[in-house]
Amino acid sequence: MRVKLRQVGNSVGLTIPASELRALEAEVGDEVELEIIRVINRPRSGWDDPGRWQGAGEAPLLLDEQPATRFDEAEWQW
């Protein structure tokens, strides 16, 4: 489950969906134990970095620039 941290006065809080609380049979005032796995600052940060993508530094393969094959010349019918 992902939740956003929110400003609550001088503190920071998070909202747990009611469906999750019902599944755990938790009520307002109960103590819960949380485990933070990681913080997602900007989910898509770095997507524009070509170094992260395999083959990103290569020129695109455009089919119009490919030489015709024997199949193209002999067997293909328009």
pLDDT in tens, 3-19: 888 999 999 998 888 99
- Give me 33's structure tokens: 């134990």
Check if the beta carbon of residue 52 is closer than 8 Å to that of residue 46.
yes
pLDDT at 66 over 80: no
Neighbours of 16 (CB within 10 A): 14
Largest CA distance in the chain: 78
Amino acid identity of 43?
Answer: P
pTM: 0.43
Q: What is the reported pLDDT for 44?
A: 72
Tokens 């006065």 belong to residue: 9
Beta bridge partners of 6: 13
Q: 19-46, pLDDT tens digit by residue?
A: 989 999 998 899 989 888 888 877 677 7
Q: Where are the domains of the chain?
A: 1-39
